[in-house]
Structure 1
Amino acid sequence: MTEPMVFGAEHVRQYEKSDGELGYLRHGAPILILTTTGRKTGRPRKVALIFQEHEGCYVVVASNGGAADHPDWYKNLRVDPEVRVQVKADRFAARARTATGEERERLWRIMAAVFPTYDEYRRRTEREIPVVVLEPKR
């Protein structure tokens, strides 16, 4: 049975309710739930993101589909890098940081291998799309 394709808040809700049994894979890529603190509201904000585990950390891309502006979740973590992460049933605190230089390029290649559409998004925008490393606090 193929699971229905859901997006946004409904994707997050199903993922959390099922401990990732629903919504963990999208287009063959693994998904995590990232919770940031709203920079304006101070309230938790959740988003489902493609990720790759790398050297004990989790890497995500602030692509915003190649839009001209960064996604809200990225703007939030720039103000407060203390985040919560859920990978399947595993929930943990993490600290987010933006990769730069050679690390960014190396991680971009890893993420584009997971989801090749990132390269298309990069061509759509003039901004440098941030690559974010989520460092677990365990």
Structure 2
Amino acid sequence: MTATGISPTDSRHPVIAQHARTYAATGGHQGHLWNGAPTLLLTTTGRATGLPRRTPLIYGRYHDSYLVVASNAGANDHPDWYLNLLQTPHVTMQVINRIITARARPATDAERLTCWAIMTARWPDYDSYQSRSSRVIPIVVLEPTTAQHPAAKPAGGRR
């Protein structure tokens, strides 16, 4: 559930949707690490529907902020979650068992080189995604706006 009381919609891709549901249900015990990379759950507001949309994404840290990459696996179109946050930059993320509200923004030109290095250290495939895409793949800075608090306790009493 989100702050609005509406459960977020997960990806149309079954494997990605299952990752998000497992992560949320286990308070990040399962799903935080994906193929060796740390992930968070990003919830944006759908630009057409106004409803919450949840996506698991690899993340890095930059000062007090979190970084995610709008790679779309190197496709020439931006992912929906990125288009959503451009319209409504107020987002929620779950990092392991912490829920954090944040303001999302594209990294500035001055930040890009440092942020790209941080993220390719986490997931080297971003370089190959960029090489096959006709667009400059955006890096998003997620700046926390509220104190972090624990996610709802998962079913079965585990954290």
Q: Shorter-chain TM-score: which interval? A: over 0.9
Alignment of 1:86-125 (within 5 A): 86-125=94-133
| Superposition deviation, residue 53 in structure 1 | 1.7
Aligned to 1:24: 32
TM-score (norm 1): 0.94
For these two proteins, the number of residue pairs brought into alignment is: 133
Aligned to 2:144: 136
- The alignment yields a C-alpha RMSD, in angstroms, of 0.9
TM-score (norm 2): 0.82
How many percent identity over aligned positions?
51
Aligned to 1:60: 68
| Superposition deviation, residue 102 in structure 1 | 2.5
Q: Secondary structure of 2:50's partner? A: coil
| Superposition deviation, residue 100 in structure 1 | 2.1
Give the greater-gyration-radius structure (CA). 2
Q: Which amino acid aligns with 2:129?
A: Y
Unaligned runs of 5+ in 1: 1-5
Q: Secondary structure of 2:77's partner? A: coil
1:116-135 CA-partner distances (Å, limit 9, x unpaired): 00000000101000000000
